[in-house]
Amino acid sequence: MEYKYGRRKELQLGEFLERRGFKWRRTPGSRGPADIIAGKGTRRLLIQVKSTRKDYTISTKLSIDGENDLISEAKRFKALPVLALVSKNYVWLISVPSGKVLKEGELRLLKYDYPDER
């Protein structure tokens, strides 16, 4: 059940990025250091999504090992490592490891149908 919620938030984030001119895709299996890779022009983002149904979220959800893995993977893709914190339908995109908020905003209901990935 929680996986489906997290997957939906990843897809909503992808559409959030798409509305801002990014092309995006979920990473294979979406269970590694990153969930989404996105690009716009020469800018690439490698994003780990952490979501909650609560009214708040905290940035400590990414462990030190998780942060290091994300940074290493981002170097491999020549991308900026980003943590996306999602609380219900609001997202904060945070640069890792600086903690700088890059973008924030409301997530919308999904525009597209996505077949189940198995």
User: pLDDT, tens digit, for every residue of 31-67?
Assistant: 789 999 999 999 999 999 998 888 777 666 688 999 9
Q: In this structure, is residue 116 part of a structural domain?
A: no
Strands across the sheet with 43-52, in order?
23-26, 36-40, 43-52, 80-87, 90-95, 101-106
Q: Per DSSP, what are the bridge partners of residue 24? A: 38
Model's pTM, two decimal places? 0.89
Amino acid at 9: K
Domain boundaries, position 78: 2-106
CA distance 109 to 118: 22
Q: Is residue 66 part of a domain?
A: yes
The confidence score (pLDDT) of residue 118 equals 41
Residue 72 within any structural domain of the chain: yes
Confidence of residue 12 (pLDDT cuts 50, 70, 90): very high
Looking at the DSSP assignment, which residues form a beta bridge with residue 84? 49, 93
Q: Tell me whether residue 38 is in a domain.
A: yes
The count of domains in the chain is 1
CATH label of the domain that carries residue 57: 3.40.1350.10
Average pLDDT over residues 79-92: 94
